[in-house]
Amino acid sequence: MELKNLQNLESEPEKNNYPEYIEKIFSFKIPAHQTPERLDSFLARSIGNATRTKVQYAIESGCVTLNNKIPKPSRKIQPGDEIYCKLMKPPPIELIPENIPLNIVYEDDVLLVVNKPAGMCTHPGFGNRYGTMVNAVLYHLGFRDTIAIEPEDEDEDYDEGEIFASDSVRPGVVHRLDKDTSGLLLVSKNPVAHAKLAEQFANRTILREYNSIVWGRFQEDSGTYEGDIGRSLRDRKLFDIVKRGGKHAITDFVVLEQFDCFSLVKVKLRTGRTHQIRVHFSRNRHPVLGDISYGGDSLIFGGGGDANGQKIAKKCLSIAKRQMLHAKTLGFTHPETGEKLFFESDLPDDIKQILDILRID
């Protein structure tokens, strides 16, 4: 079996959005103080973004040697061992300008406010190299050449958050929205503006409000959710409320409308953690409708047992092909003029369609 078949371990969507993998060589000499450890565990820990499954596959494919012999994944490493490993790794991330239409709400010499559609990633990453908001904005700003993003150490892997907040990247994404969250996104055109806008986010002086359809009804008209958010222990791609190692997160909400088994809420972020709204509402038994990652994609409340209510709930669920979450309001101080700017965007068609169904009922 050829090493290039390691790509088959990736999901189909990722493969379709990836350029060809490249072969990278890693070598290690185990120091005297190293305690015994399984070879596959050591390599997965020592090579960035190399999962244990990929490492095991490489070992079984003969792409790893230990002291010039082909080992088993369970072989315990010892001081003085020499390890040679070939892995197929993603190539360097490139920013490629793409002629993708943008819904521009506001633009001047230093910044853009764009209404991002659901299904578009904010910026390129390991599993989404093309078709992102950054690709589209680069083209809009007149860039035509590919911009290669290289880590400082060629043997190190990327921290995407640091890359896309750095001064070397144009345009500067000041904040992000999840791929399947629609709404207003702020982009800077120069590093000075980026730094000033980022400071407003850090100082929590930026106004960000979302509208969302969530499962269930509320006893209160408004409320606040708090809870430290960190990586989920069950799935490292997701987030959760954690007791240790998380970041403090505060989410305020106001109930705008209530229906049999859904509510339309306005959400205001006091902090900006990854998946914050989705995690907070899910952990409080109000997952966002359509959210496949946090429990909003299945029938939770069936209209109180009423057959018509269950029918309506199922119909709304069938329309919700993504989380029903929209970044509706954005307010900030212009980094050059000091002017207070405020923008609102219309709800997207899928959210409107569901609300029309619920209001008729």
pLDDT at 69: 93
217 and 331 belong to one structural domain: yes
- Over 60: is that where the pLDDT of 3 sits? no
**Cα 173 from chain centre:** 13
User: Within this chain, do residues 180 and 233 fall inside the same structural domain, yes or no?
Assistant: no
The active-site residue out of 40, 178, 291, 350 is 178
Note the pLDDT tens digit of each residue in 259-290.
Answer: 989 999 999 999 889 999 999 999 999 999 99
The tens digit of pLDDT for each residue in 5-17 reads 333 333 333 444 5
User: Is a pLDDT exceeding 50 seen at residue 155?
Assistant: no
pLDDT digits (tens, 9 = 90+) for 212-225: 999 999 999 999 99
Which of 186, 202, 218 is the endpoint of a domain? 202
Residue 159 annotated in active site? no
For 32, the token pair is 């005297």
Task: Please state the domain count of the chain.
Answer: 3
Q: What is the pLDDT of residues 81-128, one digit of tens each?
A: 999 998 876 666 778 899 999 999 999 999 999 999 999 988 877 667
CATH code, domain carrying 57: 3.10.290.10
Parallel, antiparallel, or unpaired for β 37-38 and 182-188? unpaired
pLDDT for 13: 38
Q: Are residues 301 and 311 in the same domain?
A: yes
Burial-class residue 33 by CB neighbours within 10 Å (0-12, 13-18, 19+).
exposed
Same domain? 58 vs 171: no
The fraction of the chain above a pLDDT of 90, given in percent, is 57
What is the DSSP pairing of strand 82-89 with strand 64-66?
antiparallel
Lowest mean pLDDT among 69-78, 83-92, 243-252, 311-320: 83-92
Cα 356 to Cα 352: distance, rounded to the nearest angstrom: 6
198 and 210 belong to one structural domain: no
Mean of pLDDT over the chain: 85
Domain final position from 56, 89, 122: 89
Tokens standing for 126?
């390991």
Please identify, among 59, 89, 119, the residue that sits at the C-terminal boundary of a domain.
89
The stretch 317-329 carries a mean pLDDT of 96
Asked if 301 and 222 sit in the same domain, the reply is: yes
Measure the CA–CA gap between 111 and 336, rounded to whole angstroms. Answer: 10
- For residues 194 and 50, which has the higher predicted lDDT (pLDDT)? 194
224 and 189, same structural domain? no
Strand partners, 125: 128
pLDDT of residue 250: 95
- pLDDT band at residue 171, thresholds of 50, 70 and 90? low
Same domain for 326 and 349, yes or no, is: yes
Does 2 score more than 80 pLDDT? no
Instruction: Judge if the upstream peptide bond of residue 171 is cis by omega within 30 degrees of 0.
Output: yes
Residue 35 has pLDDT above 60, yes or no: yes
Residue 168 sits in the same domain as residue 262: no
Domain of residue 46, residue span: 3-89
Same domain, 218 and 308: yes
Phi and psi torsions of 90, nearest 5°? -60, 140
Q: Are residues 214 and 335 in the same domain?
A: yes
CATH number at residue 196: 3.30.2350.10
- Tens digits of residue pLDDT in 178-197: 999 999 999 998 888 988 99
Place 314 in a pLDDT band, splitting at 50, 70 and 90: very high
Q: Residues 235-244: pLDDT tens digits?
A: 878 999 998 8
Give yes or no: residues 258 and 284 share one domain. yes
Residue 80 has a pLDDT of: 93
What pLDDT does residue 160 have? Answer: 47
Alpha helices by DSSP H, 18-121: 39-46, 52-60
Residues of the chain with pLDDT > 70, as a percent, come to 83
